[in-house]
């Protein structure tokens, strides 16, 4: 049974702001990230990448490079057999191109050499003959029947006949009678939006160290969000058995979804296999931007009808997403999320995927939702402006709540949207006077959250301390949260618990750190592993007391005689029981394995004030407040951190971040200089208001919090800008040239 019901309780430790266990390592420079590991005899691997957006690879001549002193091995796509499974095949082809280079930066070949200089020089000696093909990077152009075809034959059965070959998927959601709904509206607004592809922008580039031995075993040290999934992908690509590949997750320098798939890792393993030496590969920042994880770029039409008093009568959206040069199903998430915040009688969303000569999409924090909700929330806001209605009241009036039939199908259980809206309404920010030239915007946001496969082993040490092994790389402080939940359940101090992330050989499978799942799902496993250990400890106490094990209960970190024996013996603490464990049957450990469900959806509301320089089009965010339903906040500091961090990424997306392609199909801004993520001086303080509406699907009421916060900023800022300049932009980012153009266009 994969479902653990919430039971109301008073927490002693959960909810406190303890120091994170990896804190000292991280402030002293001791923490080891992907690029920080070395191995004796290690070689350096580098990748040769396509300078073309789309080209047939006629030939690759590696002979000259291979003959260079210091070059120990070279691999190309031919060294890998392409898996039969289409999804895996795409991942493999993305790691090393087969017959075509599909985007600027697509990996073509890789070299292992004695040092970085030799490796770099060797790349220059690899001769690749390309037949340059027509390319397409714009989604609307790519969707046309006469567009250059990125890959043939990739359309699913979902695509109607007559579409262009780049259109690979269609999905549709919704309910009710749209026509009747629009007929009831007093005002209908229909608009088209475009959003640029953005990058997760983690500061740590992808890095790994692979070591393959001649007996077919391998070790991989890698910065990843999911080392178990990396093991699956790499072992399939290298034709290995999973048990022969041990993957260890390094500390991870940010992921946000972008480190959920492999790029360098199978290549490093293959180079190590070929050379018989450990191979380290680290991407440059340029490679990170050109070849890894941007979001989908989108083109979205939205139509919404509203009555004079602010009731939404119907909502419709058609959203084209491009996940780059491969099949991509993210449009499904966007099409489901678009209207999730509203209680609607008639709603329909249609999602499409269109291939373009861009890098393969990787998940980015609530993948697909920010774009869809930006478009919907912009139109809702325009309706409020047009009808002279308060945008917060309109959202309260139409808010999805318990019993609402969600636009994506199910009926909502307990959800926190109304609570966040009411909190925003009561907050001083909403009524604070605005300075001259400032304007306020708001938006709702939504994300599903997931659970997934999780294993936890909890070892009770003989000195009364507890070690936890879990399988999810810690991106934002999850070891602290897991230790807190263990301490709470066991009734021992937080300081007595140490949580580590086990390698793939030491623990059962864990799904990737994604879908805002870790505190939720690992939490369930941890609490249950603790309960398992407690059962065992009660049994040991019963043996020591010579009473029936059912007559023992656990409270405040100790076994107590209960029932007829109550009070007969002094309580026996965890440390007392642990100290005698060798004499009572051996070491004590608790275990739990689960594929957790019941994560519970999450809503947020963001309020922001902006100031637009009407002569330059520059937007300054002057005040920002995030309201989010977090369920029980296990470690409030890191819950706030997720809310603030997501907001900051959303602000960057709204204002300046974008993939810019030239007419030649090459990425123009593959660096932090021109891919402009927010810097400290760009942002105001970001206030985070946590609402704790317990998730009925978690024993402590925990909900995922990591993703929802990136969803609302796009529309919140757009809505504020539109109120500041008196006209609405329909394209992201709202960079100064676009804003100035809109101002001039409106004048």
> Which 277-306 residues touch another protein, going by CB under 8 A?
282, 284-286
Question: Looking at 174, 323, 557, 604, which residue binds another protein (CB under 8 A)?
Answer: 174
Of 374 and 554, the one with the shorter C-beta distance to another protein is 374
Give least dist CB 683 to another protein, A. 6
Give yes or no for residue 477 binding another protein (CB under 8 A). Answer: yes
Letters for 433-462 (x = contact with another protein by CB under 8 A, - = none) are --------------xxxxxx----------
- For residue 98, give every residue at least 6 positions away whose Cβ sits within 8 Å of its Cβ, in sequence order, or none: 57, 77, 82
Alpha carbon of 21 to those of 119, 305, 706: distances in Å? 38, 52, 20
CB 269 within 8 A of CB 211: no
Give least dist CB 541 to another protein, A. 35
Give least dist CB 640 to another protein, A. 8
Residue 322 CA to residue 103 CA, distance in Å, equals 13
Give yes or no for residue 161 binding another protein (CB under 8 A). Answer: no
Give yes or no for residue 30 binding another protein (CB under 8 A). Answer: yes
Site for another protein in 586-625 (CB under 8 A): 595, 597-601, 615-618
Site for another protein in 252-281 (CB under 8 A): 252-258, 260
CB 234 within 8 A of CB 247: yes
Its sign, for the CA torsion 198, 202, 206, 208, is negative
CB 344 within 8 A of CB 407: yes
Give least dist CB 648 to another protein, A. 3
Give yes or no for residue 29 binding another protein (CB under 8 A). Answer: yes
Give yes or no for residue 736 binding another protein (CB under 8 A). Answer: yes
Question: Looking at 321, 408, 494, 603, which residue binds another protein (CB under 8 A)?
Answer: 408
Site for another protein in 659-718 (CB under 8 A): 660, 668-669, 671-674, 676-683, 685-686, 697, 707
CB 320 within 8 A of CB 368: no
Of 23 and 491, the one with the shorter C-beta distance to another protein is 23
Helix (H) or strand (E) run with residue 744 in it? helix 736-746
Residue 575 CA to residue 465 CA, distance in Å, equals 7
Give yes or no for residue 735 binding another protein (CB under 8 A). Answer: yes
Of 391 and 645, the one with the shorter C-beta distance to another protein is 645
3-state SS of 530-577? HHHHHHHHHHHHHHHHCCCHHHEEEECCEEEECHHHCCCCCCEEHHHH
Of 80 and 520, the one with the shorter C-beta distance to another protein is 520
Stretch that binds another protein, among 60-68, 94-102, 194-202, 432-440 (CB under 8 A): 194-202
Give yes or no for residue 154 binding another protein (CB under 8 A). Answer: no
Of 321 and 408, the one with the shorter C-beta distance to another protein is 408
Strands 466-470 and 218-222, sheet pairing: unpaired
Give yes or no for residue 232 binding another protein (CB under 8 A). Answer: no
The three-class DSSP label of residue 413 is coil
Give least dist CB 393 to another protein, A. 27
Give yes or no for residue 23 binding another protein (CB under 8 A). Answer: yes
Longest dimension (CA), the chain: 88
Question: Looking at 201, 278, 294, 523, which residue binds another protein (CB under 8 A)?
Answer: 201
For residue 12, the 8-state DSSP code is S
3-state SS of 619-682? EEEEEEEEEEECECCCCHHHHHHHHHHHHHHHHHHHHCCCCCECCCCCECCCCCCCCCCCCHHH
Of 176 and 464, the one with the shorter C-beta distance to another protein is 176
Stretch that binds another protein, among 32-40, 61-69, 141-149, 235-243 (CB under 8 A): 32-40
Letters for 366-395 (x = contact with another protein by CB under 8 A, - = none) are xx----------------------------
Of 554 and 627, the one with the shorter C-beta distance to another protein is 627
Q: How many residues does the chain have?
A: 747
Give yes or no for residue 522 binding another protein (CB under 8 A). Answer: no
Give yes or no for residue 416 binding another protein (CB under 8 A). Answer: no
Give yes or no for residue 51 binding another protein (CB under 8 A). Answer: no
Site for another protein in 649-668 (CB under 8 A): 649, 655-656, 660, 668
Letters for 53-92 (x = contact with another protein by CB under 8 A, - = none) are ----------------------------------------
Of 383 and 648, the one with the shorter C-beta distance to another protein is 648
For residue 712, the 8-state DSSP code is T
Q: Write out the DSSP string of 166-225.
A: TEEEEEEEEES-HHHHHHT-SEEEEEEEEE---B---SSPPEEEEEE-TTS-EEEEE--S
Alpha carbon of 125 to those of 49, 64, 67, 68: distances in Å? 13, 6, 10, 9
| Number of residues binding to another protein, judged by CB under 8 A | 125
Question: Looking at 138, 219, 236, 251, which residue binds another protein (CB under 8 A)?
Answer: 251
Give yes or no for residue 114 binding another protein (CB under 8 A). Answer: no
Give me the torsion for CA of 92, 97, 99, 104, rounded to 10°: 140
Give least dist CB 555 to another protein, A. 31
Its sign, for the CA torsion 472, 596, 236, 287, is negative
């Amino acid at each position: 049974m994969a479902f653990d019901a919430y039971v109301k309780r008073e927490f002693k430790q959960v909810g406190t702001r303890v120091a994170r266990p990896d804190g000292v390592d991280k402030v002293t420079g001791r923490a080891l990230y992907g690029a920080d590991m070395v191995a004796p005899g290690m070689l350096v691997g580098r990748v040769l990448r396509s300078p073309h957006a789309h080209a047939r690879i006629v030939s690759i001549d590696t002979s000259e490079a291979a003959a260079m002193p210091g070059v120990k091995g070279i691999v190309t796509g031919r060294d890998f057999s392409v898996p039969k499974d289409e999804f895996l095949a795409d991942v493999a082809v993305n790691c090393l191109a087969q017959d075509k280079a599909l985007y600027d930066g697509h990996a073509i070949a890789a070299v292992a050499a004695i040092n970085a200089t030799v490796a770099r020089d060797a790349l220059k000696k690899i001769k690749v003959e390309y037949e340059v093909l027509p390319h397409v990077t714009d989604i609307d152009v790519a969707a046309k029947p006469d567009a250059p075809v990125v890959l043939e034959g990739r359309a699913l059965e979902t695509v109607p006949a007559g579409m262009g070959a780049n259109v690979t998927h269609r999905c549709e959601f919704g309910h009710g009678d749209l026509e009747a709904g629009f007929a009831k509206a007093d005002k209908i607004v229909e608009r088209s939006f475009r959003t640029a592809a953005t990058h997760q922008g983690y500061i740590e580039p992808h890095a790994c160290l692979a070591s393959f031995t001649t007996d077919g075993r391998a070790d991989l040290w890698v910065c990843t969000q999911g080392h178990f999934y990396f093991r699956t992908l790499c072992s399939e690509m290298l034709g290995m058995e999973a048990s022969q590949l041990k993957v260890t997750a390094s500390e991870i320098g940010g992921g946000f979804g972008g480190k959920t798939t492999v790029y360098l890792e199978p290549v490093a393993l293959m180079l190590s296999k070929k050379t018989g030496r450990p191979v380290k590969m680290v991407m440059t920042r340029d490679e990170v931007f050109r070849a890894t994880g941007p979001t989908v770029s989108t083109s979205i039409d939205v139509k919404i009808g509203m009555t004079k008093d602010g009731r939404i009568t119907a909502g419709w959206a058609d959203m084209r997403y491009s996940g780059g040069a491969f099949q991509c199903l993210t449009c499904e998430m966007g099409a489901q999320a678009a209207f999730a915040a509203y209680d609607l009688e008639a709603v329909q969303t249609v999602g499409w995927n269109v291939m373009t000569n861009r890098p393969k999409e990787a998940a980015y924090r609530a993948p697909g939702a920010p774009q869809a909700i930006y478009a919907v929330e912009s139109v809702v806001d325009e309706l409020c402006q047009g009808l002279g209605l308060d945008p917060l009241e309109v959202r309260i009036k139409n808010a999805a709540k318990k019993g609402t039939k969600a636009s994506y199908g199910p009926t909502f259980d307990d959800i926190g949207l109304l609570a966040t809206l009411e909190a925003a309404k009561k907050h001083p920010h909403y009524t604070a006077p605005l300075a001259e030239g400032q304007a306020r915007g708001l938006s709702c946001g939504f994300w599903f959250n997931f659970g997934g496969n999780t294993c936890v082993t909890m070892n009770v040490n003989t000195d009364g301390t507890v070690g936890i092994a879990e399988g999810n790389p810690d991106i934002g402080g999850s070891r602290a949260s897991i230790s807190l939940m263990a301490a709470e359940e066991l009734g021992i101090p937080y300081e007595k618990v140490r949580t580590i992330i086990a390698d793939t050989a030491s623990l059962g499978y864990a799904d990737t750190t994604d879908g805002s799942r870790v505190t939720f799902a690992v939490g369930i496993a941890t609490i249950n592993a603790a309960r398992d250990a407690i059962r065992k400890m009660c049994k040991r106490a019963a043996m020591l007391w010579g009473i029936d094990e059912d007559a023992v209960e656990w409270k405040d970190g100790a076994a107590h005689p209960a029932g007829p024996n109550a009070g007969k013996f002094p309580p026996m603490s965890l440390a007392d029981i642990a100290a005698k464990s060798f004499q009572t049957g051996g070491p004590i450990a608790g275990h739990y394995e689960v594929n957790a469900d019941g994560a519970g959806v999450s809503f947020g509301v963001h309020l922001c004030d902006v100031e637009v320089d009407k002569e330059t089009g520059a937007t300054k965010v002057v005040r920002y407040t995030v309201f989010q339903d977090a369920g029980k906040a296990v470690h409030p500091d890191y819950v706030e951190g997720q809310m603030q961090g997501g907001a900051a990424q959303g602000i960057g997306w709204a204002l300046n971040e974008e993939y810019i392609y030239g007419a030649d199909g090459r990425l123009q801004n593959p660096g932090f200089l021109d891919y402009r993520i927010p810097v400290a001086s760009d942002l105001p303080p970001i206030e985070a208001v946590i609402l704790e509406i317990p998730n009925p699907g978690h024993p402590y009421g925990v909900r995922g919090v990591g993703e929802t916060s990136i969803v609302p900023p796009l529309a919140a800022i757009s809505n504020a800008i539109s109120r500041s300049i008196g006209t609405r932009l329909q394209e992201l980012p709202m960079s100064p040239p676009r804003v100035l153009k809109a101002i001039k266009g409106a004048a």
